[in-house]
Amino acid sequence: MADTAPEHPGPPKARVAIFISGTGTNMAALLYASRLPGAAYEVVLVASNQPAATGLALAQSEGIATFSQPHKGMDRAAHDQVMEAAAIRARADYIILAGYMRILSDEFVRRWHGRMLNIHPSLLPKYRGLDTYQRAIDAGDETAGATVHLVSTELDAGEILGQIAVTVQPGDSADSLARRIRIAEHQLYPQIVARYVARQYDAGWLLAQIRRMALQMPETEERESHGAPAWRTGGKSGKYFAHFADRHHGVPHVALLVKTGGQDELGALIDNDPDAFFRPAYYGASGWVGIILNRPGLDWDQVTYWLQRSWQSAAPKRLSRLFAAASEF
Ligand code: GRF
């Protein structure tokens, strides 16, 4: 029987650029994983500081755009900028380092904070830097492995996103251990990249962000309302200023509900930006607006603005006055 169900497009795929220096087997694992049904990302560029990198030829043969710029004779920041420009031209959302043997300038790393990942062949925080296999063997470790982490200005020290363990066998050499770790890396990296780039659509991750932001407001507590997380201010007889709604009442949105100035403002918000705002069931009648969180390009500054405004309208005078005064400085 033909499947007549309308195709659900799902969230848009994240665009990733992969930087390599050598064989690029991790790049190949990432690329082929991106061809599986339902993949969360697509590879829009493979770039290298080594024009002869075998990984570049492989990417080309698979129809992926490639770029190379030898680093010789260029200072670090200038070379980084050329590589970065290639990623920007390819409209990459993320840069994935896969055996990219360059120390990056701090400015480059800062510009891509939270959007640049690396894989390292050890169970970090053990064995940052080079010779990780031999160091694990020399230390008599029973277990080695690999780590995917965010890139930070300190080498191999960014937030850990995922790890995979590989047993050290009796008689292992650095090479034999490296070969098995490489196979393990190929399982780990695509999975972690997919999970990381999809988090902006994940209700659990979105709730954690909203919770952190809401609880930063003065005298705020979390208290369930109608079975969903919600935040109120002003103590025992306090008022709610934010509700979290995960696909309530048949809408596909993961949303934050906040209080507007009333029906006119609510209507205007939705008319001006129907991709960002909606009228929530029940709450809409009392002037609450829904801000859609699980969408590309969500503006977190706008979320902060509305959380603060809603808090101010719910907070008792003694608190909101203080807050208004503090935010003038
Ligand atoms: C991998 O071992 C990775 O952990 C390290 O560089 C190596 C890259 O290998 N960062 P390949 O080029 O992906 O085969």
For the segment 224-234, what is each residue's pLDDT rounded down to a tens digit? 999 999 999 99
> Ligand 1: does its nearest atom lie under 6 Å from the Cβ of 121?
yes
My answer on whether 76 and 142 are in the same domain is yes
Is 124 within the bounds of a domain? yes
- For residue 131, what is the domain's CATH number? 3.40.50.170
> Ligand 1: does its nearest atom lie under 6 Å from the Cβ of 151?
no
CA distance 283 to 91: 39
Residue found by looking up tokens 């003038």 in the block = 328
Assign 189 to helix, strand or coil: helix
My answer on whether 215 and 195 are in the same domain is no
> Ligand 1: does its nearest atom lie under 6 Å from the Cβ of 25?
yes
The pLDDT of residue 235: 86
Is residue 96 within 8 A of residue 120, CB to CB? The reply is: no
Report the nearest-CA residue for atom 14 of ligand 1. Answer: 25
CA 213 to chain centre: 17
* Counts for the chain of helices (H) and strands (E), in that order: 10, 13
pTM of the model: 0.85
My answer on whether 132 and 216 are in the same domain is no
My answer on whether 172 and 216 are in the same domain is no
Identify the domain boundary among 138, 169, 201.
Answer: 201
Is 189 within the bounds of a domain? yes
CA distance 97 to 155: 13
**What count of residues does the chain have?**
329
Identify the domain boundary among 157, 177, 201.
Answer: 201
The per-residue pLDDT for range 48-76, each reduced to its tens digit, is 999 999 999 999 999 999 999 999 999 99
- Please give the C-alpha separations between residue 269 and each of 47, 60, 132, 242, in angstroms, as whole numbers: 42, 46, 55, 17
The pLDDT of residue 127: 98
- For residue 323, what is the domain's CATH number? 3.90.1150.30
How many domains would you assign to the chain?
Answer: 2
My answer on whether 214 and 185 are in the same domain is no
Which residues, listed in sequence order, are joined to residue 14 by a DSSP beta bridge?
41
